[in-house]
Amino acid sequence: AMDLYGIDRAEALELFMQPKGKITFLSSRLKLLNPLPMPKEGCIVAFHPRQRNKPPHVGLFRGQKILHLMESGVTYLPEEVVMGMGFNRVSYYD
């Protein structure tokens, strides 16, 4: 986000950038962010999994798609495609 928009998202995303299996997710951390009713360029997108005990998957909204990390590397996919990976809800944060 810093390179693309000049906005430092490090603190907000730090929670999600832990090695797989090392994440201790606290839903209260999302409340530190400003929720948005609709996505806007550069906002954080949280995909909430069907299993309630799993943390959200996050990405960055850019050009009507989601820029995010997967085990295979960085991907740039439409929101619907990411939702099809086992998520039942999406929310947006500034």
Higher confidence at residue 5 or residue 88?
88
What is the pLDDT at residue 2? 62
What is the pLDDT at residue 66? 96
Q: Is the pLDDT of residue 23 over 60?
A: no
What is the pLDDT at residue 51? 86
Contact (CB, 8 A) for 39 and 45: yes
pTM of the shown model: 0.74
Higher confidence at residue 57 or residue 3?
57
Q: For the chain, give every domain's residue range.
A: 2-93
pLDDT tens track for 74-86: 999 999 999 999 9
